[in-house]
Amino acid sequence: MKAYYERVQDEIDGICPTKGKLSTNKVEKKMNELQVTIIPAQISANLAEIKADLLENLKQYDIEVSIETLPEAKKMATDLNKLAGEIDKRRKDVKKELSAPVDVFNAQAVELAKLILDSREKILKQVAVFEDKQREYCKKLLQNELDALYIEYEVAKEYQTGNIEKLAILSNLTDKANLTKSAIEKVAEIVKADKAVQDMVESRKANLNAITERAGVVGGIYDKLIEPFIKESEAIYTANLNGLIDGIIKQQKTAEDRIRAEAERKAREEADRILAETHKREEEAAKQLAQAVEIAAERDNAAKLAEQREAQAKIDAEKQKEALELAQKQAAEEKRKTTIERAMLEMERAEIQAAKESKKPELGKSCRLFFITAQIKLRCEPTATKEDAENTLKEIIYESHGEVLRIDSVIGE
């Protein structure tokens, strides 16, 4: 225990326990023991005599209260109260006088106890700080040991589940601030346990393909499917794996049945399609044959019709030629007649003009001229031309002593 408190003091003073110790050759002064001497207080009083006198004197106060004795009764009550107050005051004064040494001793004792408890609390706080640091130091050593053993045993990160929190206690440190043999062995047990789990998982994964192949599982099993139970005990792992394989085989069989049914359906559809296409091609071939026969017949008919049309065209051409010659002859005759009629009409107009000039009235020398721009509508014979219309207009204006100077256009309906 002495060595422990020496390490406590070293840690408090900032000295590493592994670098040496302070000298413990200290001169300890022996503390005086608390000694208390109690002298019982002695009180002398004539209380017995006063009690006897009081009992005798109180008899005079034992009266029956009435209207006549009421004032006297009140006075007696006041006297008795005064007497009781004097006795009680005397009692308190004696008690106070006797309690004074007790109060002084009590205050001094409490002060001493407080000094002791404050010192104890200070020590306990220092002890707690030291122990916390020692636990952290122990935890660091444990973690280093754990990491080193993980590397030595080649334990993968995913299998490192060791927790050294519960091992971080002061009893796992030696006096030289090293891990105890027991602590190192416990850390090794943790690492070996994780290593065993890793070996077991790797072994199970290595045998998984062979197991699933024997069971009839196509394509094996993904590692993710067995991760939830791959670290369990052999019985639990085997039960879960068998359940998983049974489920996969059922799904596999269902998928195979579905694929088979789908393939059969597609085969039927393909056969129906081929049959339908065959029927369609046969119908199209029959239709094309009928169309070819029809086209051949149409071509024969067309050839015959072409021959007929050619013959009719020759006949029509002869007729058209004859009609054209006739029309040309009629047109020449009509032209000849029109020329004759026009010539006769010109002669007639000349005669009429000559007659008019001989009858034309003469105007006086003082006449007024008007130049008129107008649109004029004339009604002529159905066979009249534009020249006939112009001449008719000129004649009308001439008869009214006028003259047509210019005709811009003649429009006939």
Q: Domain coordinates of the chain in residue numbers?
A: 2-16+54-173, 194-287, 369-413
Sign, Cα dihedral of 155, 158, 160, 161: negative
For residue 401, give the 3-state DSSP assignment: coil
11 and 130 in contact (C-beta within 8 Å)? yes
Structure tokens at 91: 């009692």
Q: What is the DSSP letter of 21?
A: -
Rg (the chain; Cα; Å): 76
H helix runs in 154-217, sequence order: 181-215
Mean pLDDT by 10 residues, the chain (413 residues): 46 42 49 73 75 75 75 80 85 82 84 86 88 89 92 90 88 89 92 91 82 75 77 84 83 85 90 88 86 84 83 84 83 78 71 61 62 82 83 83 82 73
- Matching residue, tokens 């209380």: 47
d(CA 97, CA 41): 11
357 and 395 in contact (C-beta within 8 Å)? no
Strand partners, 173: 179
Establish how many alpha carbons lie within 13 A of residue 216's alpha carbon, considering only the half-sphere containing its beta carbon: 9
CB contact burial 331-366 (16+ within 10 A = b; e otherwise)? eeeeeeeeeeeeeeeeeeeeeeeeeeeeeeeeeeee
d(CA 222, CA 245): 11
Structure tokens at 19: 């670098």
- Burial (0-12, 13-18, 19+ Cβ within 10 Å), 40: exposed
Q: What is the DSSP letter of 362?
A: P
Predicted pLDDT of residue 297: 84
d(CA 321, CA 303): 26
Which own/partner contact pairs does 188-195 have at CB distance under 8 Å and 24+ positions apart? 188/149, 190/146, 190/162, 190/163, 190/164, 191/146, 191/149, 191/150, 191/153, 191/155, 191/162, 192/153, 193/162, 194/150, 194/155, 194/159, 194/160, 194/161, 194/162, 195/153, 195/154, 195/155, 195/159
d(CA 136, CA 128): 12
Establish how many alpha carbons lie within 13 A of residue 137's alpha carbon, considering only the half-sphere containing its beta carbon: 19
- Matching residue, tokens 């009081």: 54
d(CA 123, CA 8): 10
217 and 248 in contact (C-beta within 8 Å)? yes
d(CA 18, CA 328): 150
